[in-house]
A and B are shown apart, each in its own frame.
Chain A
């Protein structure tokens, strides 16, 4: 009985409203669906209104308020997936399953769904089926998958061959490949467990912060805020307790470096979290892991258990009295906005992932309203390495303003897609040479919210003072239609807007329509002026970083590839009607069987 199952699940989570995402996930898993009746039962068991639970369920892509299929296929449709053939894969799935995407087969067995970037850009086309990742899909493989699903096979067994490194371990058993192309000294060098924690424990919390500040560590999640300063602000806050949150939402299309770090260097990350906790005076940490990476959770839990056994987590860490810290892993459920730190906190509290107003900032008012530092996976790893090897050593890497290395996720039209740990200051051209993408027409640096740059700018450096990036680098070869790229990115923002504020919720839809009008050859020079003006306005008035950057795909291509737009617009005309008379009267013509008298109709149109 659904009622019994739901009550058991809710009880397992101690009737805790803040665990609503976990509750919904478990109920979905046990019932294979969430109907409005199920939502109402969850609400009743938690003692909240149905609209509150429905609001959360419908916010997340992987929850949706319906059945997803016994086998729920989520095919990645981002631009790189499309470049690598996801359209053909999509057709194969549809033909074999007999239903179009967005549907479940009549027997409820197979559901076909599209999803945005799942963090596998270096091995597209890819899909997630019931949490299991399938990479490098081919039409034959897709067909075989459908056959296997129809036969009711265990989907996990079909994920072969296994990937490299920890991907092939018993706990992970995933097809995913690390594709580490270049190891640098900060992230991917060998690390002796405990070395960062021992060093931290030998210092006062203030001195740990001082060391991180001295190293000039800037946040790797995109915004580049000085990490030491963030920790200092947080430490000074009076509210108790304090929390450390690790942002492993990695949602920016084209980035996948955190996935590789989580797979190969989780012990480095967890030491970073623990010493951050020591620095800011927190004993609890949360790792917020994007739902797409759920397959890594058992692996992370196992590493955590090992660290607890060795006393690198728990009480008396590194033999120091009062150094207490532990980490819980929480899962997202498919929402890019949950990478924004305040939305992430809302989501971790079991709510819709909607950003908060700032100020107050998370260091003042974070997880459960308490002082919280939110840091990216790579930032926390770098902090651990800084403690282990010293700020002076760290500063010998990179540029004077951007110390250290950056882990880049390179994908698209290049021979060696994968993860590159490089010192800051490296030029785009050098990176392309390493990755085998020398003939690129354009490179998208920093994902859709970053910038699309032309060949003429390939000498620019990857650094906070020049091309800042959270790590996503997508290469577009000479033949690529950048309009398709821009459209794909705008689709992404339209879909991922949390919908809270007007300019982002409505404005992105309007931008996309205007772009499509131009792409269809129906734009004029005036449309170019308008789309630019609208884009600037949306950036200015949006409430959070998503809307403040979502017009960038259009704005940066307008700036850097203007000729492409000029070729599409009719420069001689001030106005082109979007109205298509033929199309408008087609239904009437079909019903009446009469054709309009040609001249009269045309005269009206003029």
Chain B
């Protein structure tokens, strides 16, 4: 098997390595495919579906779909962009997102994508669910109004002996992420911070450390999401 695979993304010729996902290959070629649940270094969950692309007429999540020789990928086309925007809107109406009071504002990937898609008001009615702010062990809080069920915490935060600290409960729209409180309390400080930093929104919060960086000087206040990957086009 050759070590270089040729694919096209929106007609642009790209090279990829076997085993790469479409999203990874795109990024390596300077093409940003918006995504939300994916986190560099963690096994992708394919849960948010924001990175949906079309391959051979079929829809695939580019974060989990492997490249193959000659593949023609459609990504930044109007109908797909609208679907991505719609998914972001769904996540907004599923929870209760009050950005101005949120610790993650400016660092929040959901908010950053909403800006990118120029979302004003969601096309869907708000569901206004009743959710709580819950202590998750002694170090962390979970602001359930903001959880988008990306599963990064469930995938990425384990104890030294590989026990799951976070995990999903229930199913359907009742699904929620929570912790084993004893294991969450025992997380070393570095991992508690990691849990908070990996959360794309402001759901998992380290107690007592809020607003260390002022709003206005945060990641997406400085540069829009995806700008690290997208090369300026001539």
From A498, A502, A507, A534, B171 is in contact (CB under 8 Å) with A498
CB neighbours of B168 from chain A (8 A): 55, 352, 499
Out of B64, B159, B165, B172, name the residue touching A505 (CB < 8 Å).
B172
A50 interface neighbour in B90, B127, B180, Cβ under 8 Å:
B180
Q: Does A586 contact B (CB under 8 A)?
A: no
Q: Which of B111-151 contact A (CB under 8 A)?
A: 123-125, 127, 148-149, 151
Chain B interface residues toward A at CB < 8 A? 45-50, 52, 59, 61, 64, 66, 83, 86-87, 90-91, 93-94, 123-125, 127, 148-149, 151, 159, 163-175, 178-183
Residue pair B83, A48 in contact (C-beta under 8 Å): no
* The residue from B49, B50, B163, B166 contacting A543, defined by CB atoms under 8 A apart: B49
A479 within 8 A of B: no
B125 near A540 (CB under 8 angstroms)?
A: no
B4 to chain A, nearest CB (A): 21
> In the assembled complex, which residues on chain B have CB atoms less than 8 Å from the CB atom of A50?
180-182
Asked if A359 lies at the interface with its beta carbon under 8 angstroms from chain B, I say yes
A540 x B90 contact (CB < 8 A)? no
Give chain B residues whose Cβ lies under 8 Å from the Cβ of A495: 172
In the complex, the 10 A-B pairs of residues with the closest C-beta atoms, listed nearest first: A499-B175, A51-B167, A49-B180, A506-B90, A51-B180, A357-B64, A49-B163, A499-B171, A55-B167, A541-B49
A528-567: contact bitstring with B at CB < 8 Å (1 yes, 0 no)? 0010001001001111000000000000000000000000
Closest residue to A60 on the B side, CB-wise? Answer: B171
> Are B48 and A51 in contact, with the CB atoms below 8 A?
no
User: Does A496 lie within 8 Å of B83, measured CB to CB?
Assistant: no
Which A502-529 residues sit within 8 Å CB-CB of chain B?
502-503, 505-507, 509-510, 513
CA separation between A513 and B167, bound complex, in Å? 29
User: Which residue of chain A has its CB nearest to the CB of B163?
Assistant: A49
Q: Give the residues in chain A near B174, CB-CB below 8 Å.
A: 499
**What separation, in Å, do the CA atoms of A506 and B92 have in the docked complex?**
10
Which B residues are in CB contact (< 8 Å) with A502?
47-50, 87, 90-91, 94, 148-149
Chain A residues touching B, majority SS: helix
Other A-B pairs beyond A335-B171, A500-B47, A506-B91, 17, CB < 8 Å:
A49-B180, A51-B167, A51-B169, A52-B164, A55-B167, A58-B169, A58-B171, A352-B168, A352-B171, A498-B172, A502-B49, A505-B173, A506-B127, A509-B127, A510-B124, A510-B125, A513-B125
The answer, among B46, B125, B167, for a CB contact under 8 Å with A501, is B46
| A503 to B46 CA separation, bound complex (whole angstroms) | 12
Contact assessment for A49 and B52 in the assembled complex, using a CB-CB cutoff below 8 Å: no
26 A-B residue pairs with CB within 8 Å: A43-B180, A49-B159, A50-B180, A51-B169, A51-B178, A51-B180, A54-B167, A55-B167, A58-B169, A337-B171, A352-B171, A499-B174, A499-B175, A501-B49, A502-B49, A502-B91, A503-B49, A503-B87, A505-B149, A506-B127, A510-B93, A510-B124, A530-B123, A534-B124, A540-B52, A543-B49
Q: What 1/0 flags go to A38-62 for Cβ under 8 Å of B?
A: 0000010000111110110011000
Most buried by A among B61, B173, B179: B173
**A24 at interface by CB-CB < 8 Å:** no
Residue of B at shortest CB range from A500?
A: B47
B166 contact set on A, CB distance < 8 A: 51
Interface residue? A227 (CB, 8 A): no
A499 to B90, CA, bound (A): 13
Contact A51 B170, CB 8 Å, known A499-B175, A507-B90: no
Complex CA distance for A534 and B50, rounded to whole angstroms: 15
Residue A494, interface by CB 8 Å: yes
Residues of B within 8 A of A505 (CB): 94, 149, 172-173, 175
Q: Does A488 contact B (CB under 8 A)?
A: no
Partner of B90, one of A48, A51, A500, A510: A510
Name B51's closest neighbour in chain A (CB-CB).
Answer: A541
Question: Could you tell me if A501 and B94 are in contact, using CB atoms closer than 8 angstroms?
Answer: no
- Residue among B90, B171, B183 with the highest chain A CB neighbour number at 10 A: B171
Tell yes or no: A373 within 8 A of B by CB: no
Set of chain A residues within 8 Å of B83, measured between Cβ atoms:
537, 540-541
Kindly state whether residue A497 has any CB partner on chain B within 8 Å. Answer: yes
A510 CA / B93 CA spacing, docked (Å): 9
Chain B residues whose CB sits within 8 angstroms of the CB of A530 once the complex forms: 123
| Cross-chain contact of A49 among B66, B125, B167 (Cβ < 8 A) | B167
Q: Is the CB of A497 within 8 A of B46?
A: no
Rounded to whole Å, the gap between the CB of A288 and the closest CB of chain B is 18
Q: Which B residues are CB-close (under 8 A) to A503? A: 49, 87, 90
Cβ contact within 8 Å between B66 and A497: no
Cα(A503)–Cα(B163), bound, Å = 30
Are B47 and A501 within 8 A (Cβ)?
Answer: yes
Report the Cα distance A510→B89, complex, angstroms.
11
Name the contact of A494 in the complex, choosing from B61, B86, B164, B173 (C-beta under 8 A): B173
Q: Mark A341-384, 1 if CB is under 8 A from B, else 0.
A: 00000000000100001010000000000000000000000000
Query: Chain B residue with minimal CB distance to A548?
Result: B59
Chain A residues with CB under 8 A of B165: 49, 51
Does A542 lie within 8 Å of B167, measured CB to CB? no
- In the complex, A495→B174 CA distance in Å? 9
Known interface pairs A58-B170, A494-B172, A510-B90; A499-B180 also in contact (CB < 8 Å)? no
Can you name the residue of chain A whose Cβ is closest to the Cβ of B151? A500
Are B175 and A542 interface neighbours, CB within 8 A? no
Do residues B169 and A55 form an inter-chain contact, with CB atoms below 8 A? yes
By a CB distance below 8 angstroms, the chain A residues around B125 are 510, 513, 578
**Are B171 and A51 in contact, with the CB atoms below 8 A?**
no
Q: Shortest distance in angstroms between B225's beta carbon and chain A's nearest beta carbon?
A: 17
Contact A48:B163 (CB < 8 A) given known A509-B127, A541-B52: yes
With A51-B166, A542-B49: A497-B90 Cβ-Cβ less than 8 Å: no
